[in-house]
Amino acid sequence: MFKSLMKIVCIAAAGLGFYALPAAAVNNCSITSGSVMNIAITIPTLRPASNGTQGTVLGSAEIRAPGISYNCGSNIRNTWRSKYTRPEFSTESTVPNVYQTNIPGLGIRLSWPSSRSAYFPTAYPCNGSCSERADTVKLEFIQTGTIQTGTIPAGEIGKVEVTADTDPGTPLTLMNVVLSSAVDIRPKSCAILTTYQNVDLGSYSVADFASKKITKGDLKEFDLTLDCPATTPVKIAFTGEQSIGAAKGAIKNCETTECAKSVEVKLMSSMGMVLDVTGEKAKATNVGNVTGKKTLKFKAQIVPVDTSKMTPGKVSTYAIFDVYMD
């Protein structure tokens, strides 16, 4: 380049010319519908059996993710890739699709879209204009060996990015997955065999509530199963989000546009006693001594807050339970 310029000067003696080679075109990606999905997940405490069974799900959560559309140019083939963003999550365990965490004996399994078991890390190709329908992000913590006490810090744990397969530009982020709070791991002598479950509360007509044909939903049973190798005194504390002034045991419903308004969910013991849902250990339900495997039964039901303000929609809420072994 320098020699060529000097040759021109010597022959023509007519000024200087500067030029640059044109930059290669890149195929940048963009979101055409929706926005970057920021998924915050909370699993505050895990209390596994230190020598529990490999492959046991110790804690899990599912978070709804909206749909998203994107492209990287007309008829440009692209690929989104999911990945863990922490170096300590880079080693795969002997349990399928489970990666080791910073806690010995504890693995992580993350998927999106969970309906098609797309476990991190993975890749999905597409061509031209592409979309992912609304689905769920599922996080599970899995026992992979003898577990030690420790903490998994809060913060980002995973990411999904898309790039063009040819002449790619800067990766475009489609999703960020974060732990909204640290996960505290405290191995105990008892194993919690029920770590997550959905409770179907039934379907009801708003008109039936308004006319007093029914005043509350049917009682729906759900179980929590423990396995204690030695006799252990056990208490269970439930934590649910409550509205200001809510009655004891009443957990508020979701608040998005598709959620029913003026409806709550009440938790009760198998005998119909309303349970505290503040999560306070002092108010935990005493279930007595547990030896071996024991299934504890509870109940839940839909209750109206103000029937004149009820609207149709879904009822979707949750409660976290802590098991205290003193």
pLDDT in tens, 64-101: 999 999 999 999 999 999 999 999 999 999 999 999 99
What is the bridge-based pairing of β-strands 172-179 and 37-41? Answer: parallel
Please tell me whether residue 300 adopts helix, strand or coil conformation.
Answer: strand
Cβ atoms 238, 287 nearer than 8 A:
no
Angle at the Cα of 48 (from 44 to 52), degrees rounded to 5?
155
Could you tell me which CATH class the domain 191-325 is placed in? mainly beta
Q: Is residue 78 a contact partner of residue 125, using CB atoms and an 8 Å limit?
A: yes
Q: Kindly report whether the peptide bond that precedes residue 125 is cis, defined as omega within 30 degrees of 0.
A: no
Rounded distance, CA 275 to CA 298, Å? 9
Where are the chain's structural domains? 30-185, 191-325
Span 30-185: which CATH code?
2.60.40.3310
278 conformational bin, left if phi > 0, alpha if psi -120 to 50, beta if neither:
alpha
Q: State the pLDDT at residue 310.
A: 92
What average pLDDT does the chain have? 88
DSSP state letters, 88-115: GG-SB-SSTT-EE-SSTTEEEEEESSGG
Cβ pair 303, 263 in contact under 8 A: yes
Q: For 235-292, how does the pLDDT look when each residue is reduced to its tens digit (9 = 90+)?
A: 999 999 988 888 898 999 999 999 999 999 999 999 989 999 998 988 999 989 888 8
- pLDDT above 70 (res 188): no
Please report, as a single letter, which amino acid is at residue 203: S
Distances (CA, A) of 109 to 80, 88, 133, 139, 155: 19, 13, 21, 6, 16
Q: Half-sphere exposure (CA, 13 Å, Cβ side) for 238?
A: 24
Cβ contact 144:193 at 8 Å: no
pLDDT tens profile 117-167? 999 999 999 999 999 999 999 999 999 998 888 999 999 999 999 999 999
* 30-185 and 191-325 in the same fold: yes
Cβ atoms within 10 Å, residue 257: 6
Q: What is the pTM of this model?
A: 0.56
Helix, coil or strand: residue 285: strand
Residue 189: which pLDDT band, with cuts at 50, 70 and 90? Answer: low
The DSSP secondary-structure symbol of 39 reads E
